[in-house]
Amino acid sequence: MSTVLNAKVPAGALRDKWDNYKADAKLVNPNNKRKFKVIVVGTGLAGASAAATLAELGYQVDAFTFHDSARRAHSIAAQGGINAAKNYQGDGDSINRLFVDTIKGGDFRSRESNVHRLAQVSVDIIDQMVAQGVPFAREYGGMLDNRSFGGAQVSRTFYARGQTGQQLLLGAYQQLSRQIGLGGVRLFNRTELVDIVVIDGRCGGIVVRDLLTGEITSHAAHAVVMATGGYGNVYFLSTNAMNCNVTAAWRAHRRGAMFANPSFTQIHPTCIPQSDESQSKLTLMSESLRNDGRVWVPKNADDSRPAGQIPENERDYYLERLYPSYGNLAARDVSSRAAKRLVDKGHGVGPLKNGVNLDFSAAIARLGRKVVEERYGNLFQMYERIAGEDPYSTPMRIYPATHYTMGGLWVDYELGTTIPGLYAAGEANFSDHGANRLGASALMQGLADGYFVLPYTISNGLAPLLNKPVPSTDHPAFVQAETEARERFGAYLDIKGTRSPDWFHRELGKIIWDYCGMERTQQGLEKALSELPALYAEFKKDLRVTGSGENVNQTLEKAGRVDDFFQLGMLMCRDALDRQESCGAHFRSEYQTDDGEALRDDENFCHVSAYDWTGDPMAAELVKEPLVYETAHLATRSYK
Amino acid sequence: MKQLTDLKLKVWRQAGPEVDGYFESHTVDKVSDEASFLEMLDQLNERLIGEGKEAVVFDHDCREGICGTCSLMINGQAHGPQRATTTCQLHMRTFKSGDEIVIEPWRAAAFPIIKDLMVDRSSFDRIVEAGGFITAPTGGAPDANLILVPKPVADAAMDSAACIGCGACVAACPNGAASLFTGAKISHLNVLPQGQSERYKRAEAMVHAMDDQFGSCTNHGECSAACPKEISLDVIALMNSDFRKSKSKNRKALSRG
């Protein structure tokens, strides 16, 4: 592999780069498009929008999802909203401001050109989704309503109650369904990617496993898009859906796609705290709640009175105190660490003293219960279901939890990975959020990639391949990948040890959370790197998978995913150890300012850390892509 | 936190679509009342694996009531006893020690059983593919604020669009009909200004796709009672009304809505 990364950033001023790219990009004649086969893996916002749009253009598209239906992808769980620089509120928003906010929110660890393009196409996304019938919230006059989110001083977030992700995904799913009905897309549901195949230095297709029959088959294509989401479930407990996993991205990494910034994982400040040991996942409460909720803890540590009995002067509204200009809307990483510190000092609330209050009493007094109900009704109901408490009368209890992964497959400006012909979109790539993602930006990025970026860049990549057939699935590379996959799944069944995949997953998650979570130290990371290989060896020796490989076997599926999480976990800890600075969500205790804020080291770490597979995640080769800021000014991020 | 003991589970086991199924009894102890229903099943599965047995297969994913993947008949009720609640959001505090809990898959001819508690709901996707969309190819959309949508209309569309496609409506229906699901999708799109061009064609195509696969609606209303998102029966009225209009020969009248 080459060790120089070429990001293929087009020439010209930042604001002209995307126009220049499109002006120079090669096109495929409408009659020739049907000669090309494109595979899209994943049907979330990025995957469904890419598959639908590519099919509309005329490409033959095969889409794959491990869900029973494309509509189940985890994009559906996003609650709060989607950002766009529409400036409909006339409050000073612009493409440039969205760009700067995103770069700053990411703590200057993302690539300027990609982020600027994201801000540019954000406005098209809202137009497109409205045309498709997404029922965004409206003012009485019929115009679109907005609200604000963390890390921004304008209201640029479009929303559909607390179910924005659901409504956007249904929009993309409907568009995909239309193409399935028309024959433009063939959908393979309940089918999981188990390998990708590289032939003559180019991605030739994928190998998949039918989750109903266990059958392993090959699919060839001219180009493959990975829109397979993030890897937050490496922590075991996260807000991700149970089936979210890193396998597709990891298998691509093992075949030569570099993996960038693996340690950049976001901890979301507002989730429902863990209630007991048997808990299988954590539930997010949308950040939008921080528009009207006030975060506080008792001033006296170990104050165990119910919230209502603690008088005003004994409450510490710490976000308002520490960050007066952003207050309760300070960026996610900043808010999360503030909560962790207070809970660590004994100021936590709730039976396990593991949360902070998010209090709506002031908002209810100011706006009335009806308005609050209209804005957040379904979130309040969800909280009530899970916690068994009524948030209209007592404050919600919240605590940070793993939510989103900024790291992912390294991609260039065209969203191409280091394997030609293999693209990555949405959360699966590393591109736009640097070391920390702002709220309401994940939906924006997924749809930007799928609707407005990939269709151009894939055409540019396909044009030179005109009249070249896809590789045969009898090619030795396919045959070998199939054999390896069969052997891998067979091996899990053959270990016949004593521990379930979930048991190992839980143990793995504890190590990663303790040492590579909200705060990291050299000592902790070194400890993790000594414990992980030992636990992984145990996994290979003592795993127990019951049932067979010839029909539905969720235990077997889980085994494959946990295997890949182990390898990823090692790479995460290595990356976190190597990055001797604090930036965004990556907080190394050794590198902080006197008042406990992240201390960046731009001289030594203003780069993307990409890793090349060498056969052992503990020995991956680090390749750096330097980050150059021509427009945004490298500055210390402050929400004070 | 309290613990529940001596929960007597009767779980449907079925090795595959073509073989007979049966109820398997298990007693589960030491379940936290804070645990969700699916976490209780996780606990059972961990034990089964420990005993060298095959885990019970069930569909689930987000575990926060939005993806629509989970799908269990619990004591004969779709998604269990709590109103407006998916199985994954049902918590064990709803039950008490010693309870007998019968767990079955969705029961409907249009949702064939794949294994144990997992069913095939792709018949829903076929309905959407037939017309559950607005034709708006990427790229040509006008500015979003050019299409004014009165707030009550947007709210009504959202009420219908809240459907998560879980299939509880079909499972609860004595006829195995999919009118609530289909009506919800039709109502979401047919009340919006953007949805008007294809309004009647959409209703016609989707109702035909529905009729090809599901039973007939006789207005029992069980669907709405079981719906975790409390979709109103009104959507069925709107669907029927638009379907009827789609059959009218008078295209001139059609053009006036």
| Among chain B residues, CA nearest to A544 | B49
Residues A287 and A385 in one domain: yes
B249 pLDDT above the threshold of 70: no
pLDDT of residue A330: 85
| Among chain B residues, CA nearest to A242 | B61
Residues A59 and A175 in one domain: yes
- The SS3 assignment for B251 reads helix
**Average pLDDT of span B212-236:** 97
Whether residue A7 is contained in a domain is answered as no
Domain final residue pick, A371, A402, A433: A402
Q: pLDDT tens-digit profile of A287-323?
A: 889 989 999 999 999 898 999 999 999 999 999 999 9
Which of A68, A131, A554 has the CB atom closest to B136's CB atom?
Answer: A131
| Inter-chain touch A180–B129, beta carbons under 8 Å | yes
Burial A466-504 (b: 16+ CB within 10 A, else e): eeeebbebebebbeebbeebbebbeebbebeeebbbbbb
Which of A71, A167, A388 has the CB atom closest to B93's CB atom?
Answer: A388
Residues A214 and A321 in one domain: no
Q: What is the CATH number of the domain that holds A58?
A: 3.50.50.60
Is B21 within 8 Å of chain A by CB?
no
* Residue A596 confidence class, pLDDT cut points 50, 70, 90: confident
Q: pLDDT tens-digit profile of A386-432?
A: 898 999 999 999 999 999 999 999 999 999 999 999 999 999 999 99
What backbone torsions phi and psi does residue A493 show, to the nearest 5 degrees? -70, -30
| Inter-chain touch A132–B165, beta carbons under 8 Å | no
- Mean of pLDDT over chain A: 95
Q: What is the DSSP letter of A237?
A: S
Residues A333 and A369 in one domain: yes
Which chain A residues touch B52 with a CB distance below 8 Å? 544, 546
Give the gap in angstroms from C-alpha B152 to the nearest C-alpha of chain A: 8
A509 pLDDT above the threshold of 70: yes
Whether residue A156 is contained in a domain is answered as no
- The SS3 assignment for A106 reads coil
Residue pair A292/A372 in contact by the 8 Å Cβ criterion: yes
Q: What is the CATH number of the domain that holds A582?
A: 1.20.58.100
Is B104 within 8 Å of chain A by CB?
no
Q: What is the CATH number of the domain that holds A349?
A: 3.90.700.10
Whether residue A559 is contained in a domain is answered as yes
Please list, in sequence order, all residues whose beta carbon lies within 8 angstroms of the beta carbon of residue A455, skipping any fewer than 6 positions away.
Answer: A50, A53, A54, A57, B138
| Inter-chain touch B150–A138, beta carbons under 8 Å | yes
**Average pLDDT of span B103-125:** 98
**Least confident among A165-179, A325-339, B176-190:** A325-339
Whether residue A553 is contained in a domain is answered as yes
Both structure tokens of A497: 């040890």
**Average pLDDT of span B88-106:** 97
A1 pLDDT above the threshold of 70: no
Query: What stretch(es) of chain B map to CATH 1.10.1060.10?
Result: 121-255
Residues A283 and A185 in one domain: no
What backbone torsions phi and psi does residue A196 show, to the nearest 5 degrees? -115, 155
Residues A54 and A171 in one domain: yes
B253 pLDDT above the threshold of 80: no
Give the gap in angstroms from C-alpha A373 to the nearest C-alpha of chain B: 14
Residues A352 and A413 in one domain: no
pTM of the model: 0.96
Q: What is the DSSP letter of A341?
A: H
Which of A67, A144, A500 has the CB atom closest to B49's CB atom?
Answer: A500
ipTM over 0.85: yes
Q: Which of residues 40-99 of B touch A (CB under 8 A)?
A: 42-43, 45-46, 48-50, 52-55, 57, 59-69, 84-85, 89, 91, 93
At CA A417, angle to CA A109 and CA A489, rounded to 5?
A: 115
Query: What stretch(es) of chain B map to CATH 3.10.20.30?
Result: 3-108
| Inter-chain touch B114–A212, beta carbons under 8 Å | yes
Is A242 within 8 Å of chain B by CB?
yes
d(CA A290, CA A327): 9
Give the gap in angstroms from C-alpha B174 to the nearest C-alpha of chain A: 24
User: Domain range holding A295?
Assistant: 268-402
Q: How many residues are recorded in chain A?
A: 640
Beta bridge mates, B4:
B31
A549 pLDDT above the threshold of 60: yes
| Inter-chain touch A76–B67, beta carbons under 8 Å | yes
Residues A258 and A293 in one domain: no
Q: pLDDT tens-digit profile of A200-237?
A: 999 999 999 999 999 999 999 999 999 999 999 999 99
Residues A418 and A332 in one domain: no
CATH class of B3-108: alpha beta
Mutate to test the interface with A, among B133, B186, B199, B208 (most CBs of A within 10 A): B133
Whether residue A485 is contained in a domain is answered as yes
**Average pLDDT of span B166-175:** 98
| Inter-chain touch A181–B129, beta carbons under 8 Å | yes
Both structure tokens of A20: 């220049």
A127 pLDDT above the threshold of 60: yes
| Inter-chain touch A276–B157, beta carbons under 8 Å | no
Residue pair A74/A245 in contact by the 8 Å Cβ criterion: no
| Inter-chain touch B130–A546, beta carbons under 8 Å | no
Residue pair A623/A612 in contact by the 8 Å Cβ criterion: yes
pLDDT of residue A162: 85
Mutate to test the interface with B, among A192, A270, A278 (most CBs of B within 10 A): A278
* Residue A492 confidence class, pLDDT cut points 50, 70, 90: very high
Q: How many residues are recorded in chain B?
A: 257
Residues A280 and A389 in one domain: yes
Give the DSSP per-residue string, A361-401: HHHHHHH-HHHHHHHHHHHHHHHHHHH-S-TTTSPEEEEEE
Q: Which of residues 191-230 of A touch B (CB under 8 A)?
A: 212
A109, A251, A332, A588: which is the annotated catalytic residue?
A332
| Among chain B residues, CA nearest to A184 | B129
A337 noted as active-site residue: no
Residues A261 and A312 in one domain: no
Q: pLDDT tens-digit profile of A238-296?
A: 999 999 999 999 999 999 999 999 999 998 999 999 988 889 999 988 888 998 999 99
Which CATH fold would you assign to the domain B121-255? Fumarate Reductase Iron-sulfur Protein; Chain B, domain 2 (1.10.1060)
Whether residue A357 is contained in a domain is answered as yes
* Residue A440 confidence class, pLDDT cut points 50, 70, 90: very high
Residues A255 and A272 in one domain: no
A639 pLDDT above the threshold of 80: no
d(CA B104, CA B109): 14
| Among chain B residues, CA nearest to A183 | B129
Which of A76, A174, A385 has the CB atom closest to B62's CB atom?
Answer: A76
The number of folded domains in chain A is 3
- What is the crossing angle of helices A501-516 and A522-542, to 10°? 170
